[in-house]
Homo-oligomer: A and B are copies of this chain.
Amino acid sequence: METDLSPLLSYLDEEGLDGYLIDDDASDSDQRYVSGFDAPDAYQTLVTADGGVHLLISGLEYGRASSDADADTVTRRSAYDYQDLVAEYGQYGGRIRGVAAFLADRDAESIAVPRSFPTGTADGLRDRGLAVTVESDGIVEDVRATKTEWEIEQIRATQRANEAAMAAAEDLIASADVEDGVLVHEGDPLTSERVKEEIEITLIRHGCALDDTIVACGADAADPHDRGSGPLEADELIVIDIFPRDKETKYFADMTRTVAVGDPDDEARRRYEVTREAYEAALDAIEPGVTGADVHDAACDVIEDAGYETLRSDPGTETGFIHSTGHGVGLDIHEQPSVAPAGGDLEPGHVITIEPGIYDPAVGGVRIEDLIVVTEDGYENLTDYPIGSGPTIE
């Protein structure tokens, strides 16, 4: 992948620093992005002021890193007598000395580090005479916000898997019978857990993993962070929010649909319609020069005009539209840019969710979410899945 690290190099140049060091494992998306590599155990990535990318890694990962990583050099820890250092100074002291030797080899005496850089390593390097500065703007995260064509294709592929999972969930719910107000499938109550299992199995068959899914019914769905549990009920809104990650590429996708079986009451139906209008208003607002804040405002306008609270109309509200309109999606499920009150310029290549919702424990929750990419003249919807195809909400 062609990553553009020039903003980072400009920063190093302006600050007169020799390099930018990441010390983490590939659960840190910045490191995965910069190194083009994925390892379960911690390793170090140094970007030198000349743009070189240099990895320091365990012997076990050396072969794979040498062939797979987007790096100019890959060095084994053993090159700096790592085992001897650990034997003499312990795991912690030995590790720091190994990293210091690696930096010295690259003439890096003053380095920037990300905000999340381990204080243990930072202080250890400082004790050994290096200058360590925190790069506090999140430059790499900002670079990551703008996706390459290749990245957009990876996200699109994860979204296809997501759509297969959503279809499996909707089909399962649609096939349920209703007995005593509860959904029943093959003689057993159809639970949130059973639908989540269907979603997860579908995703695994499509090469994706996920730790979490939301299938939340009734009052559960009024808390946007509630994952949902127990039997699904007829006549209630059911929020299905799926955010899988491709196991190979590590790119996420994200989508939400709200469905119901039976006959939701008029207030629930009205909230569904208002949410859908807010979703459409937010999409319509995406055009050249717009900010995330503008798009968020467009969604808030619709919801407030319909008589519901938002965090804009009442920062302390616990009902109504109680989250932001969207967030960036990529190697992290929540990343830059933000489609929220503080959201800055939306730029071509930004991949964001648009996901307004209305919540109240007395009525339940509604949320509709698509994944889109900002383009030169507006946006392209990466979601190829109808709204309202699910059971009987409309």
Which B residues touch A83, using CB under 8 A? 315
Interface centre among A117, A119, A124 (most CB of B within 10 A): A119
A5 within 8 A of B: no
A204 within 8 A of B: yes
Show 14 A/B contacts (Cβ-Cβ < 8 Å), sorted by A.
Answer: A64-B225, A83-B315, A115-B119, A115-B121, A117-B119, A118-B118, A119-B119, A119-B132, A119-B134, A120-B134, A123-B134, A124-B134, A204-B204, A209-B210
A128 within 8 A of B: no
Given contacts A86-B342, A200-B204, A211-B247, 11 further A-B contacts (CB under 8 A): A27-B27, A92-B136, A92-B137, A92-B138, A115-B120, A116-B120, A117-B119, A117-B120, A118-B118, A120-B134, A201-B204
> Complex formed: what's the CA distance from A204 to B209 in Å?
11
Interface of A is mostly: mixed
Which B residues touch A365, using CB under 8 A? none
A204-B211 contact, Cβ under 8 Å, with A119-B134, A225-B61: no
Which B residues touch A134, using CB under 8 A? 119-120, 123-124
> Complex formed: what's the CA distance from A40 to B209 in Å?
16
Which B residues touch A41, using CB under 8 A? 334
Q: Which A residues contact B (CB, under 8 angstroms)?
A: 27, 40-41, 60-61, 63-64, 83, 86-87, 91-92, 113-124, 132, 134, 136-138, 197, 200-201, 204-205, 209-212, 223-225, 247, 315, 323, 334, 342
Q: How many copies does the complex hold?
A: 2
Closest to A137 in B: B92
> Complex formed: what's the CA distance from A121 to B334 in Å?
20
| Distance of A223 from chain B, by nearest CB (Å) | 7
The answer to whether A115 and B118 touch across the interface, beta carbons within 8 angstroms, is yes
> Complex formed: what's the CA distance from A83 to B324 in Å?
14
| Distance of A146 from chain B, by nearest CB (Å) | 19
Interface centre among A27, A115, A205, A323 (most CB of B within 10 A): A115
> Complex formed: what's the CA distance from A136 to B124 in Å?
10
Which B residues touch A120, using CB under 8 A? 114-117, 134, 136
Closest to A117 in B: B119
Closest 10 CB pairs of A and B: A115-B120, A119-B122, A117-B119, A116-B118, A200-B204, A120-B134, A119-B119, A92-B136, A123-B134, A60-B225
Which B residues touch A138, using CB under 8 A? 92
Closest to A132 in B: B119
Which B residues touch A92, using CB under 8 A? 115, 136-138
> Complex formed: what's the CA distance from A120 to B134 in Å?
6
> Complex formed: what's the CA distance from A91 to B204 in Å?
36
